[in-house]
Structure 1
Amino acid sequence: MTDSNTQRDDPVAVGSRVKVISSSGSRSSDTASRFGVVLEDYADAVIDNSDLGRDWAPVQRWAIALDDGRLVSAADGGLELA
């Protein structure tokens, strides 16, 4: 799955240090910047959300290990290089 990054000209790749951008639906207690490292890129496995028949719980592309030990996921546009 990591080979797809080189074909997409995407600056974020497995192993990149990133800042996770909080979504508008984030809990107020979880608004601090979160930094970590990208563990996996699921671009080849991501299903078009319109194929799911729902608009809640969208499929996420990136798996990130945060510095505080948590594992989170993020959609395209949900990360910035740190």
Structure 2
Amino acid sequence: MAVGSRVTVIPSGDTEPQVGVVVEDYAGNVIDNSDLGRDWAPVLRWTIALDDGRLVFAAEGGLELA
């Protein structure tokens, strides 16, 4: 998985998987939630431009190569 990879975003919940392209990798910015002192707004590793025009963020394990 790398910037430019075509991926399927695996949603948590009742939404359908979405396909798009990885546009950024924030591997150096990901921090364990326990280090933040909170469990909201964690840094997610991947930014994906979906085919429908939306920009989404996904954690490690939330993507599959398309």
**Superposed pair shares fold, TM > 0.5:** yes
RMSD: 1.1
Q: How does 1:53-72 map to 2 (within 5 A)?
A: 53-72=37-56
Query: Structure 1, unaligned stretches of length 5 or more?
Result: 1-11
Query: Structure 2, unaligned stretches of length 5 or more?
Result: none
Deviations 1:16-75 (A, max 9, x none): 000000114xxx4xx122000000000011122111111122220000000000000000
Distance in 1 (CA, whole Å) between partners of 2:41 and 2:4 is 25
Distance in 1 (CA, whole Å) between partners of 2:50 and 2:56 is 7
Moved over 6 A (4+): none
Aligned residues: 66
For 2:64, the equivalent position in structure 1 comes to: 80
The structure with the greater share of residues assigned to strand is 2
Structure label with greater radius of gyration: 1
For 2:6, the equivalent position in structure 1 comes to: 17
**Alignment match of 1:40 (pick from 24, 33, 42):** 24
For 1:52, the equivalent position in structure 2 comes to: 36
Distance in 1 (CA, whole Å) between partners of 2:39 and 2:29 is 18
